[in-house]
Amino acid sequence: MSYLEHFGLEREAFSNAPDARFYFDSVQHGQALVRLKRVVDANKGLAVLVGGIGSGKTTLARRLLDGLDPQLYESSLLVMVHSGVTSDWLLTRIALQLGVRQPETERLALIRQLYDRLLEIDDQGRRAVVLIDEAQMLQTRPLMEEFRGLLNLEIPGKKLLNLLFFGLPELEDCLRLDEPLAQRVALRYYLRPLSEEETLAYIKHRLRVAGAASMVFSAAAVAQIYRYSTGVPRLINTLCDNSLFEAFLQHQTVVSPTLVEAVAGDLGLTPQLLAAGQQAVAQHLSKIESLLARLEQRRGS
């Protein structure tokens, strides 16, 4: 018997692999989607979503992409896997993802191709949008200048391209490499960890989607999961998955707080370290918000 059969599950409930079936629509995730969608529909140009490691940024990006009707949007998701990309590579990749066939190698010719393609998309009554995940990897001024140039591709009264950045807090440092680009951000949204109440709802949701007939974590176990994960979805998944397997090995039908604590210890997680990490992220976000306030004051003056 597998641990799935032991708990009456049809599939793994807490895998960290992307799976649209398990999307959890928390209040802040729902608000983020509404705001990002507005940026696209209103052709605002540039939006930024920032969150800590494992907070659900990629899940949100994929959720948004899946909800964009191809008849109304020319949309794509570009995931940055390393920081060594060049401006030419970036421009070519974006052109390909927007449907440019056989991109030119000469820069000005490629920009002309991209502009013509954006005009074609607009003539079709559609909107062009590129979502960029792990955008904190874009760590050079030339790359930021490239994005500013792309946002300049417009016609009177309308932007032709929307860019949505998803990344860690370090993304703000990247944007500051090009101040004019930073000032063009139409939306900034900060994704924070789940609350303890949301953590419980999240666990119940994933169990339900996986086919569970009952709650297999005790209330005290959920409290421990929150204590060690501090509401970070990726850590919640890791703790829950390992706890279920350990409970199966020990022939338990309900996960206990003691078992969660043992699993957390095996994973090297401690509440103190995680709390310190979350505090550091919160302090960093506070600095960013303060900087934004100063930028707004400067813009107003």
Assigned token pair, 206: 């994933």
Q: Measured in whole angstroms, how far is the alpha carbon of residue 6 from the centre of its chain?
A: 33
CB 45 within 8 A of CB 183: no
pLDDT along the chain (301 residues), means of 10: 89 92 93 96 95 92 95 96 90 95 92 96 96 94 93 92 96 93 94 95 97 94 95 96 95 95 93 54 58 59 52
CB 139 within 8 A of CB 50: no
Q: Is the dihedral of CA 255, 258, 264, 266 positive or negative?
A: negative
The pLDDT assigned to 184 comes to: 93
The pLDDT assigned to 102 comes to: 92
Cα–Cα distance between 85 and 137 in angstroms, integer?
9
Length of the chain: 301
The pLDDT assigned to 273 comes to: 46
Cα–Cα distance between 114 and 112 in angstroms, integer?
5
Any residues with CB less than 8 A from the CB of 231 and at least 6 apart, and which? Answer: 192, 193, 194, 195, 196, 198, 199
Cα–Cα distance between 235 and 212 in angstroms, integer?
21
Q: Matching CATH topology for 3-22+194-269 and 27-191?
A: no
CB 162 within 8 A of CB 39: yes
Class of domain 27-191: alpha beta
Radius of gyration for the alpha carbons in the chain, expressed in angstroms and rounded? 22
Contacts 24+ apart (CB under 8 A), 271-276: 271/227, 271/228, 271/230, 274/228, 274/229, 274/230, 274/232, 274/235, 275/230
CB 12 within 8 A of CB 241: yes
CB 76 within 8 A of CB 97: yes
CB 24 within 8 A of CB 206: yes
CB 147 within 8 A of CB 175: no
Q: Could you count the other beta carbons within 10 Å of the beta carbon of residue 38?
A: 13
The b-or-e profile of 140-178 (16+ CB within 10 A means b, else e) is beebbebbbebbebeeeeebbbbbbbbbbbebbebbebb
CATH topology of domain 3-22+194-269: Helicase, Ruva Protein; domain 3 (1.10.8)
How do strand 158-159 and strand 154-155 relate by DSSP bridges? antiparallel
Assigned token pair, 1: 């018997």
- Domain range list for the chain: 3-22+194-269, 27-191
